[in-house]
Chains A and B, each alone.
Chain A
Amino acid sequence: MRLNQCRIASALVLVVVAAWTTVAFACATCGCSLSTDAAMGYSAATGWQVSFQFDTIDQNQLRFGRHSVSFPEVAQINNDGGSQEVEKETNNHYYTLGVSYSPSADWNFRLLVPWVYRNHTTYGESPNPLTPDLISGAYVDSLGDMRFIAGYQGFLPTHNLGVQVGVKAPTGNYGGPNADDTGIAGRHPVAFTYGPNSLNPSPDNLLDTSLQPGTGSTDLVLGAYYYQAISQNFDAFIDGQYQFAMFHKLDQPSEDFRPGNLLNVSFGLRYEENPHVVPQIQVNITHKASDQGTLADTANTAGTVVYVSPGVTAMVAANTHVYGFVQLPAYSNLQGYQLFPRWTATLGISYAF
Chain B
Amino acid sequence: MVPDSQMSLLMNPRTMRRRLLRAMAAFFLAMAGTLAGLQSWANDLKVGQPAPPLVLQTLDGRRIATSELHGQVIVLTFWATWCDPCREELPVLSAYAQQHANQGLQVLGFSLDGPDALPQVRSVASTLHFPVGLLGSAWAGGYGRMWRLPVSFVIDRDGRLAYNGWEDEDPVMTEARLHALVDPLLR
Which residues of A in the span 277-321 have a Cβ within 8 Å of any Cβ on B?
277, 279, 312, 314
Q: How far is the CA of A91 from the CA of B1 in the complex (A)?
A: 20
Which residues of A in the span 322-348 have a Cβ within 8 Å of any Cβ on B?
322, 324, 326, 345, 347
| Given A6-B80, A277-B38, A194:B3 Cβ within 8 A | yes
Chain B residues with Cβ under 8 A from A121's Cβ? 10
Q: How far is the CA of A8 from the CA of B170 in the complex (A)?
A: 16
Chain B residues with Cβ under 8 A from A119's Cβ? 9-10, 13
Give chain A nearest CB distance to B20 CB in angstroms: 6
Give chain A nearest CB distance to B172 CB in angstroms: 5
**Cross-chain contact of A13 among B42, B114, B166 (Cβ < 8 A):** B114
| Given A137-B6, A232-B147, A14:B136 Cβ within 8 A | yes
Cβ-based interface call for B187 (8 A): no
Give chain B nearest CB distance to A89 CB in angstroms: 9
Cβ-based interface call for A222 (8 A): no
Instruction: Tell whether, in the assembled complex, residue B17 and residue A56 are in contact, meaning their CB atoms are under 8 Å apart.
Output: yes
Interface residues on B, range: 35 or more
From A92, which residue of chain B is reached at the shortest CB distance? B13
| Given A273-B41, A345-B20, A314:B34 Cβ within 8 A | yes
Instruction: Tell whether, in the assembled complex, residue A273 and residue B148 are in contact, meaning their CB atoms are under 8 Å apart.
Output: no
Give chain B nearest CB distance to A55 CB in angstroms: 11
Instruction: Tell whether, in the assembled complex, residue B6 and residue A13 are in contact, meaning their CB atoms are under 8 Å apart.
Output: no
Instruction: Tell whether, in the assembled complex, residue A275 and residue B137 are in contact, meaning their CB atoms are under 8 Å apart.
Output: yes
Instruction: Tell whether, in the assembled complex, residue B82 and residue A277 are in contact, meaning their CB atoms are under 8 Å apart.
Output: no
**Cross-chain contact of A273 among B113, B135, B145 (Cβ < 8 A):** B145
| Given A56-B17, A133-B1, A13:B138 Cβ within 8 A | yes
Q: Which residues of B contact A (CB under 8 A)?
A: 1-3, 6, 9-10, 13, 16-17, 20, 23-24, 27-28, 31, 34-35, 38, 40-43, 80-86, 112-117, 135-139, 144-151, 166, 170-172
Can you name 8 A-B pairs with beta carbons within 8 Å? A4-B171, A5-B151, A9-B147, A13-B113, A14-B115, A58-B17, A272-B147, A312-B27
9 closest A-B pairs by beta carbon, nearest first, are A157-B82, A229-B147, A10-B138, A6-B83, A91-B13, A312-B31, A133-B1, A194-B6, A6-B149
